[in-house]
């Protein structure tokens, strides 16, 4: 059974990068944060991509960059929406192992509020209640995609 690459999917702010780094270190394999890798490949930040090209173009870029990582022997932390576009979840399942990192809406909110929201294009102009509402509605939309993962890990 091919164990690598391992793709960690889940909602924005759930801790995919933190857990992905730990897993890669434990397995002694490279770690890729898909969002950081996109910025390296494109030469601009994700907020700049959203501002200049829009979310639809970002999702196309995201899928192309993901394509280049499908055969890496590595742990790859995906963006919160990666699994939901352009058959990315099916492609990740075909090429490796997928783990859905889950947390409650409350934990996600708390984690997001500890970050720089200006670096999160979908949240940067939202007030706290709007962020809570966005988490709730967007999580419901995305869960069917995340649920396609081969494994689930719940953060308490």
Distances (CA, A) of 36 to 6, 109, 126, 129, 151: 17, 22, 23, 28, 24
Q: How many domains does the chain have?
A: 1
Position 1 in a domain: no
Residue 86: inside a domain: yes
For 1-27, what is the mean pLDDT? 91
Give the pLDDT confidence of 16-71 residue by residue, as tens digits.
Answer: 999 999 999 999 999 999 999 999 999 999 999 999 999 999 999 999 999 999 99
| Domain enclosing residue 97, as ranges | 6-154
Task: Read off the pLDDT of each residue in 104-117 and give the average, rounded to a whole number.
Answer: 94
CATH of the domain at 144: 3.40.50.300
User: Whose CA is closest to 152, among 89, 110, 98, 86?
Assistant: 98
């Amino acid at each position: 059974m091919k164990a690598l690459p391992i793709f960690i999917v889940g909602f924005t702010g759930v801790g995919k990068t933190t857990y992905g780094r730990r897993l890669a270190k434990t397995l002694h394999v490279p770690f890729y944060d898909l969002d950081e890798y996109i910025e390296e490949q494109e030469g601009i930040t994700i907020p700049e991509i959203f501002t200049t090209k829009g979310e639809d173009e970002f999702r196309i870029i995201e899928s192309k960059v993901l394509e280049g990582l499908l055969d890496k022997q590595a742990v790859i932390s995906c963006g919160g929406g990666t699994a939901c576009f352009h058959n990315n979840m099916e492609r990740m399942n075909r090429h490796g192992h997928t783990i859905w990192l889950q947390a409650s809406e409350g934990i996600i909110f708390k984690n997001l509020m500890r970050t720089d929201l200006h670096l999160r294009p979908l949240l940067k102009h939202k007030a706290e209640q709007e962020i809570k509402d966005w988490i709730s509605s967007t999580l419901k939309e995305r869960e069917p995609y995340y649920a396609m993962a081969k494994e689930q890990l719940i953060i308490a």
